[in-house]
Amino acid sequence: MPWAKELPTISFYTQDTAFASDKMIFRQFRVGPMENFNYVIGDESTKEAALVDPSWEVPKLLRFAEENRLKVKKILLTHTHPDHVQGLKEAVSKTGAAVYVHHEESRAAKALGVKVNEVDNGDEFSIGALKVKVLHTPGHAPGAVCFLFRNKLITGDTLFVEAVGRTDLPGGNTKHLFESLQQLKKLDDSTEVYPGHDYGPKPHSTIGDEKKNNPYLRCKNLEEFQNIKD
């Protein structure tokens, strides 16, 4: 992703996972009873922001946005399993933000009573001056996506720290997940991985570390992957 590499390195300003550069605010929130991660991404220059997978503790996300004088304009969904959209309606009604979801997941999002913007692999959109690229990564869910911005990848339930998403739910597909992971392995090793659940030994990782430490990413072929997955 050449455009991602050209941008400057972000420096952390707290010891956990909140940080800012002159242009960006990013915060990971651990929420709810299923160890979900929600995210707030903000562009410092325009004060525009997006929420990712708002669930369980929407007021906490909105309080953070308010404290940083951010206006939430977009809501990004990695997929539409209930634990990732549990707070969607509340977040939309409190912010009026536009919802972005892969077209294979849009029916489930619409069923919650919100309007959606359908996205597909390779689509790009902006959060203020910040570019976000959509990577379609089916396997855990047919319309599962990852969001890539600068050197950061929000992976939903496709890739966890040292684990991957399950494929035994409706629409899950082990072969598709294997293929999606091969695509993610092509990203630069320094790409930071921000998953949809806190299931690993640390809350975030890098593609390089996952290629070394994640048994599912170490599989050389589909057969090996299926053997440890099923």
Decide whether 157 or 210 has the Cβ nearer to Zn ion. Answer: 157
Question: Smallest distance, Å, CB 36 to Zn ion?
Answer: 9
Decide whether 157 or 198 has the Cβ nearer to Zn ion. Answer: 157
Question: Smallest distance, Å, CB 130 to Zn ion?
Answer: 25
CA atoms within 13 Å, Cβ hemisphere of 203: 14
Contact 144, 79 (CB under 8 A): yes
Q: Which of residues 35-94 bind Zn ion (CB under 5 A)?
A: 81
Question: Smallest distance, Å, CB 200 to Zn ion?
Answer: 16
Decide whether 77 or 132 has the Cβ nearer to Zn ion. Answer: 77
Which residue of this chain has its Cβ atom nearest to Zn ion in the complex? 81
Interaction pattern, residues 151-170, with Zn ion; x per rule: CB under 5 A: ------x-------------
d(CA 61, CA 53): 11
d(CA 170, CA 76): 22
Residues 6 or more apart from 15 whose CB is under 8 A from it?
none
Closest by CA position to 54, among listed 166, 196, 226: 196
Decide whether 25 or 108 has the Cβ nearer to Zn ion. Answer: 108
Closest by CA position to 159, among listed 116, 205, 127: 205
The pair of three-digit structure tokens given for residue 19, joined into one six-digit string: 């940080």
Q: Which of residues 175-214 bind Zn ion (CB under 5 A)?
A: none
How many residues belong to the site for Zn ion (CB under 5 A)?
A: 2
Question: Smallest distance, Å, CB 199 to Zn ion?
Answer: 12
Residues 6 or more apart from 6 whose CB is under 8 A from it?
none
Decide whether 68 or 173 has the Cβ nearer to Zn ion. Answer: 173
Q: Which residues here bind Zn ion, judged by CB under 5 A?
A: 81, 157
